[in-house]
Amino acid sequence: MKSIERITFDPNVMGGKPCIRGMRVTAGMIVGLIASDKKRDDILALYPYLEDADITQALTYAAWRTEEIDLPMVPA
């Protein structure tokens, strides 16, 4: 898997959701904007503190996450 060092998890930021570089911008928000047909340039204009690589990493994380399988915890 590609490195996703720009995606951070902190229980004190957005409830621990995956965020961009510790900011209050979630990977899900970025993916949602792309899904709503926003272009990268539009997103970067709306959020000038983001970088193009942040968008790429949010999409990379989302793609990786969809491949992950959640298994229920069963007591042994």
pLDDT tens for 49-72 read 999 999 999 999 999 888 866 666
Domain assignment present for 39: yes
pTM: 0.82
Domain assignment present for 59: yes
Whether the per-residue pLDDT at 22 is higher than 60: the answer is: yes
Domain assignment present for 54: yes
**Total domains, the chain:** 1
The rounded distance, in Å, linking the Cα atoms of 12 and 6 is 17
H, E, C per residue of 5-59? CCEECCCCCHHHCCEECCCCCEHHHHHHHHHCCCCHHHHHHHCCCCCHHHHHHHH
Whether the per-residue pLDDT at 2 is higher than 70: the answer is: no
Residue 40 belongs to what domain range?
7-67
Q: What is the dihedral of CA 43, 45, 50, 54, to 10 degrees?
A: 30
Domain assignment present for 72: no
Domain assignment present for 1: no
Domain assignment present for 48: yes
Domain assignment present for 13: yes
CATH number where 62 lies: 1.10.10.10
